[in-house]
A and B are shown apart, each in its own frame.
Chain A
Amino acid sequence: MDLYKYDVVIVGSGIAGLRAALQAAWTGRGRLSIAILTKVHAMRSHSVSAEGGMSAVLYPDKTGDSLDLHAYDTVKGSDFLADQDAVELLVRLAPEEVRLLDRLGVPWTREPDGRIAQRPFGGMTIPRTTFAADKTGFFIMSTLYNNVLRFDKVHIYHEHFVTKVVIENGEFRGVVALDLKTGELRAFRAKAGILAAGGSGRMYRLTTMAHSSTGEIYGFALREGLPLKDMEFVQFHPTALVPSGILISEAARGEGGYLVNREGERFMQRYAPQRMELAPRDIISRAIVTEIMEGRGLTDPESGMGHVLLDLRHLGERKLNERIPFIRELAIKYVGVDPLKEPIPVRPAVHYIMGGIHTDTYGRVLDVGGNWVRGLWAAGEVASVSVHGANRLGSNSLSECAVWGRLTGEEAAKYSMGLAEPTIDESFRESVKAEEKRIYDGLLHSEGGTVSVYEVRRRMQDIMEDHVGIFRHGSQLGEAAAMLKRLREEARSMRLDDRGKAYNQNLRDLLEVDGMLDAVMAVVAGAYARTESRGAHYRTDYSKRDDANWLKHTLAYMRGGSLELAYVPVRITKWQPEERKY
């Protein structure tokens, strides 16, 4: 196996990973060696799909906005589960990030005087979402990717699938990755590592996320003994296209769109009379499902899916084309509906994972005891810092990716500058050899797998969709846990049909599903234990928030092959929990 040495290795090339790489390179003034490993071509990362925008307080004097207001909106949106020191850091650094992205080349949509334009977004009391038409994530991605190319010592390893994170004695050592093109395994020994592997919508059947958002890294982290935080909080976006799940951005409602049921009623007036269509996502998603369950929805003839309608007709052609052209394009292309003439069929779909790898305020990865796993950081959707708590506000994620990309990139660079060249010792070699054995002998060359990878994946997705959805109940969650456990056992003999080396996607798919099966257990266990309703986690058998018992973060971790739960307090600085009304 080929061995490489780097100062910093970054897993993931979404906005968080690329921003981290850029900051690490700049902090080291181009002298640090940095590897970006990504299982797709770097530019294909899921972040390109982000449409609506990035939150930041840019011109407080002109708009009456303030950092405190942005922080308060975020904390309230999180149903008071966010760590408030982290939220304060987010809102303080987000404006710097928007301006840096401008200097790097993002084509922000502008006001006539050259200022950056901002639009309203759900749960934000003042328009503070900056955007580049409705392809904000794409433009930030291409700008970051392009600017990373200015540094010769940043090496991008496209299509390198990380199969293992090597941690020894509480310290990060490196990673092992499968080069999809050649089928070779490669070991990367590094002084510092940043995990930026994104979310995992594909745990579910219907999601707005890309096919590559599978989240095996969550499972791989569990295997190394790392805890996952708050995994039960899964965000459903209210408006995904039926039946594909392709996102219709919240920008559509930010620009003035209405949600209506089969009777043509703007039903949000019964659920959130003040904020209406711009209430937070958890509230709107529950409202839509309630409308459908109570018979006021519509049914898509082809898929049988229930849905409601998003009406944009009154916005007029000019606004549609200038502010949300991609939404119009997607609706026409994928469901044959021109939003100028007809309302769009939409329903909730999984959109964002609030939980993730447990870190401190600065993105340092922590063990269950709260000790830093030296040399290791996590940033972006894969991490739980936590700024989103029980429910993320739209446009806060791109800010989070940029802010923690920058912080972890800078920290990792400084940390590695203080260390001598890493050595490849016996124990690292051993770890790498064991991984080689697991993949080549255990999977690629082993005979006798029986069940199809795709069958296992479909069953997992069905269980999650049907039992761990928007409305949850203790008995359903218990059932889901039992079914997933059985599936986990069955999946030990998944069948590999492709035994070739070059671009073996079947092997990649197997490794993904194998990691996901561990990750979903953390979602279900956390949801089962949390006997309250908060943000995106709604229990029909415990429909109230319960601060006395549950104002705390869940940690799920593996001990001796089984999943255990522990809890840590929420950090509160300025805002005491209050009733959440919109």
Chain B
Amino acid sequence: MVSVTLRVRRQVAGEGRWQVYKVEAASEKATVLDLLLKVKEEQDPTLALRYSCRMAICGSCGMVINGRPMLACQTKLSDLGSTDISVEPMWNYPVVKDLVTDMGEFFDKHRRVKPYMLRREEEIFEGGDEFRQRPEDVERYLDFAYCIFCGLCYSACPRVAENPEFLGPQALGQAARWIFDSRDRGAQERMRIVDGEDGLWSCHYIGSCSEVCPRGVEPAFAIQLLKMRAMRP
């Protein structure tokens, strides 16, 4: 058994405060999500947080743990090297309650880059055959396609904090995901959306997005590739 002190940022209707819980973890392998759920079930059912898959693939449980945006379900006590843990909601989002943030705008920005196959719709829906791709074609966009919409990159980005109109690393990364897919025909249309002051050029290549991304999407790199494409004569 390991005794842990959890400091959790609680917030309802704009009023914020820290609340401290003491929890016993079965071992160092316990994740921050395990601990928060234990608090919820055994001590304080009013605590609100998002979670679902508990295997780092659904993107629900992004939060700021000991000062760094992370997924609670893949952050173990042993990773933190401490039994004093502070947890707060992701930065750069309005808070709904406790650790639950409002991601409406984040999802809207994603939608704005037309994150779907741009090609004649009859061909997509009625086409019959597959659009072939060689393994090396898949490699060109695959890393970007791993995005789980967790929103951590957007939370870590200082430029989003300064310019709320900025599309942000996730949306731009997803623009790249489709632009570099050999099956897609919408590169130009999408470039017109992202090639602007609140798009690519808001990015100062600080790189915190890539640092916190739990799936190795490297949005900062995606943005660089798109900038190069935008400057191509």
A333 touches B74 (CB 8 A): yes
Please report the C-alpha to C-alpha distance between residue A147 and residue B124 in the assembled complex, in whole angstroms: 11
At the interface, is chain B mostly helix, strand, loop or mixed? loop
Which one of B13, B44, B60, B181 contacts A41 once the chains associate, using CB atoms below 8 Å?
B60
- Of B13, B57, B100, B111, the most chain A CB neighbours within 10 A belong to B57
Binds A, one of B135-143, B198-206, B218-226: B135-143
B128 touches A99 (CB 8 A): yes
Q: How many residues of B contact A (CB 8 A)?
A: 66
Please report the C-alpha to C-alpha distance between residue A475 and residue B132 in the assembled complex, in whole angstroms: 57
Within the complex, what minimum Cβ distance (angstroms) separates B38 from chain A?
10
Please report the C-alpha to C-alpha distance between residue A312 and residue B81 in the assembled complex, in whole angstroms: 30
Within the complex, what minimum Cβ distance (angstroms) separates B175 from chain A?
12
Within 8 A of A (CB), among B109-131: 111, 114-117, 119, 121, 123-125, 127-131
> Is B188's CB within 8 Å of the partner chain A?
no
- Given known A138-B57, A149-B116, contact A102–B130 (CB-CB < 8 A): yes
- Of B119, B135, B174, the most chain A CB neighbours within 10 A belong to B135
- Given known A146-B115, A147-B117, A503-B97, contact A181–B46 (CB-CB < 8 A): no
B residues near A26, Cβ cutoff 8 Å: 121, 125
Of all chain B residues, the one with the shortest Cβ separation from A50 is: B57
A105 touches B116 (CB 8 A): yes
B54 touches A246 (CB 8 A): yes
B residues near A96, Cβ cutoff 8 Å: 128
B52 touches A150 (CB 8 A): no
B residues near A104, Cβ cutoff 8 Å: 116-117, 124
Binds A, one of B16-24, B145-153, B160-168, B189-197: B145-153
A40 touches B52 (CB 8 A): yes
Of all chain A residues, the one with the shortest Cβ separation from B147 is: A142
Please report the C-alpha to C-alpha distance between residue A105 and residue B111 in the assembled complex, in whole angstroms: 16
Within the complex, what minimum Cβ distance (angstroms) separates A544 from chain B?
38
- Given known A103-B130, A103-B131, A502-B97, contact A497–B58 (CB-CB < 8 A): no
Within the complex, what minimum Cβ distance (angstroms) separates B136 from chain A?
9
Within 8 A of B (CB), among A113-151: 113-116, 135, 138-139, 142, 146-147, 149-150
Q: How many residues of A contact B (CB 8 A)?
A: 63
A114 touches B59 (CB 8 A): no
- Given known A110-B135, A333-B74, contact A497–B96 (CB-CB < 8 A): no
> Is A440's CB within 8 Å of the partner chain B?
no
B residues near A303, Cβ cutoff 8 Å: 26
A44 touches B60 (CB 8 A): yes
> Is B134's CB within 8 Å of the partner chain A?
yes
Of all chain A residues, the one with the shortest Cβ separation from B118 is: A150
Within the complex, what minimum Cβ distance (angstroms) separates B140 from chain A?
10
B52 touches A500 (CB 8 A): no
A residues near B121, Cβ cutoff 8 Å: 26
Within 8 A of B (CB), among A69-115: 96, 98-100, 102-105, 107-115
Interface string of B44-68 (1 = CB under 8 A from A): 1111111111111111100000000
A residues near B3, Cβ cutoff 8 Å: none
> Is A66's CB within 8 Å of the partner chain B?
no
Within the complex, what minimum Cβ distance (angstroms) separates A9 from chain B?
20
> Is B229's CB within 8 Å of the partner chain A?
no
Please report the C-alpha to C-alpha distance between residue A497 and residue B107 in the assembled complex, in whole angstroms: 32
A211 touches B54 (CB 8 A): yes
B52 touches A44 (CB 8 A): yes
Please report the C-alpha to C-alpha distance between residue A506 and residue B45 in the assembled complex, in whole angstroms: 6
A99 touches B117 (CB 8 A): no
B54 touches A244 (CB 8 A): yes
B45 touches A454 (CB 8 A): yes
> Is B178's CB within 8 Å of the partner chain A?
yes
A107 touches B141 (CB 8 A): yes
> Is B184's CB within 8 Å of the partner chain A?
yes
- A303-B26, A454-B45 given; 18 more Cβ-contact pairs under 8 Å: A41-B59, A43-B59, A43-B149, A44-B58, A99-B130, A103-B183, A105-B181, A110-B135, A112-B134, A115-B132, A210-B52, A210-B58, A334-B55, A453-B45, A454-B40, A497-B46, A505-B48, A505-B49
Q: Give 21 CB contacts A-B under 8 Å.
A: A41-B59, A41-B60, A44-B58, A46-B58, A96-B128, A100-B125, A102-B183, A105-B117, A105-B184, A109-B138, A114-B134, A115-B132, A116-B130, A138-B148, A149-B115, A211-B52, A336-B29, A454-B41, A502-B96, A503-B98, A506-B46
